[in-house]
Structure 1
Amino acid sequence: MVSTNVQAEISFGGFTRFIFDGKQKSLMVTLDNEGDAPALVQSLLHWGDQDQVRDLPMVVNKPLLLIPAHGKASLTIFYQGVGLPSDRESFFLLSVMQVPEKPRQENNIQIALQHNLKLIFRPKLPGSLEDALEKLHWAPSPKAPPGAYLARNDSPYYLTLTEVALRDRAGNSCGEAVEHLMIAPFSSYELQVPGCSKAAGQIAYKFISDSGIAHARQIDL
Structure 2
Amino acid sequence: MSFVSDIHLSAWKNLPFYLIFLLLPQQVNANIIINGTRVIYPQQKQEVNVQLNNDSENPALVQSWIDDGDENAALDKISVPFVLTPPIVRVEPNSGQTLRITWTGTALPQDKESLFWLNVLDIPPRSAATINADVLQMAIRSRLKLFALSASGANQAPHELQWQRSPSAPARVLLVNNPSAYFINVSNIKIETRHKEIKSLKSEMIAPKSSAEFRFTALPEEIDAAALRYEVINDYGSVTTIKNTQ
Query: TM-score with structure 1 length normalisation?
Result: 0.86
- Alpha-carbon deviation of 1:174? 3.5
Q: Which secondary structure state, in structure 2, belongs to the residue aligned with residue 129 of structure 1?
A: coil
Counterpart amino acid of residue 182 in structure 1: M
Measure, in 1, the Cα distance between the counterparts of 2:29 and 2:230.
33
Q: Out of 186, 205, 217, which is 1:182 matched to?
A: 205
Other structure's SS at 1:133 match: helix
Give SS of 1:134's match.
Answer: helix
Unaligned runs of 5+ in 2: 1-22
Contact 1:49 1:91 in 2 (8 A): no
**Which residue matches 1:18?**
39
Query: Partner of 1:71 in structure 2?
Result: 95
Please name the residue that 1:204 is paired with: 229
Distance 1:49 1:148 in 2: 29
Tell me if 1:146 matches 2:168: no
Is 2:121 the partner of 1:97?
yes
The Cα shift of 1:54 comes to: 7.8
CA displacement, residues 92-143 of structure 1 (integer Å, 9 cap, x when unaligned): 110111013344352211112111111111254xx51222111110111111
Bigger drift between 98-107 and 70-79 goes to 98-107
Structure 2 residue corresponding to 1:60, chosen from 81, 84, 106: 84
Contact 1:25/1:81 (8 A) holds in 2:
no
In 2, Cα distance between equivalents of 1:119 and 1:88: 14
Q: Give, in whole Å, the separation in 2 of the partners of 1:184 and 1:146.
A: 24
The residue number in structure 1 matching 2:61 is 40
User: 1:198 is matched by which residue type in structure 2?
Assistant: L
Instruction: Assess if the C-alpha contact under 8 Å between 2:234 and 2:240 holds in 1.
Output: yes
Once the two structures are TM-superposed, the CA of residue 181 in structure 1 deviates from its matched residue by 1.0
**Per-residue Cα deviation, 1:160-203 (whole angstroms, up to 9, x for no partner):** 12223x4341372436642x31111111111123xx14347444
Higher share of residues assigned helix = 2
CA distance in 2, matches of 1:4, 1:123: 41
- CA separation of 1:203/1:114 partners in 2, compared to 1, >3 Å: closer, same or farther? farther
Structure 1 residues 88 and 141, CA, compared in 2 at 3 Å: closer, same or farther? same
Give the count of matched residue pairs. Answer: 213
Q: Secondary structure at the match of 2:155?
A: helix
**Cα gap change, 1:168 to 1:146, in 2 (>3 Å):** farther
> For residues 63 and 4 of structure 1, what CA distance do their matches in structure 2 show?
27
Q: Give the structure 2 partner of residue 172 of structure 1.
A: 196
Q: How does 1:127-166 map to 2 (within 5 A)?
A: 128-164=153-189, 166=190
| Structure 1 Cα separation of the partners of residues 38 and 132 of structure 2 | 37
TM-score, length-scaled by structure 2 = 0.78
User: Counterparts of 1:55 and 1:30 in 2: how far apart (Å)?
Assistant: 24
3-state SS in 2 of match to 1:98: strand
Q: More strand per residue: 1 or 2?
A: 1
Give the structure with higher Rg (CA): 2
* Structure 1 residue aligned with 2:133: 106
- Structure 1 unaligned blocks of 5 or more: none
Say if 1:49 and 1:150 are closer, same or farther in 2 by CA, change over 3 A: farther
